[in-house]
Amino acid sequence: MSFLSKRNLQLSEHFIIWGVRQWVICNNSKEDAIPLLNKIYSTKNVQKLTVSINNFMCTFSKNKEIDIYCLCHNELSFSEINILKSIYLAQNGYDVECIRCISRFISEKEKNAFENIISISSTLLCKNYIIPSRSEYLLNCSEGKYRFH
């Protein structure tokens, strides 16, 4: 994957990266991330992201091979890019590819993780926050679309 930095991100992508990174900080310090996530997301009327990101990260963080950077880090990690990619794929109807993407980190048995990605994607779409098309997100996508929702 090519280099992505926070400077290049749109607001929708910043919502996700900030939430994921903040969740990890709270989790590492044994704090509940929900109040902080909800407070920030409610300022943009996307508080539904709070529960979906929390639930997704609870599942996602069980994998010891994920890499999430600190809030001040400008680059995006491979794991962070794949989270954005999975949401992009879900927003654009590439559900099979979305599952394949996130399955690199989460067992396919963890179906709720995929449901949370769909929920995150839908919440953003309802408020017109689109994850933009990027070459990093389109690698290995088939031309056909198949929607599960």
Say if CB 42 and CB 30 are below 8 A apart: no
149 burial via Cβ count (<10 Å: 0-12, 13-18, 19+): exposed
Model's pTM, two decimal places? 0.87
Can you tell me the mean pLDDT for 118-124?
95
Quick: pLDDT tens for 63-107. 767 789 999 999 998 889 989 999 999 999 988 888 888 887 777
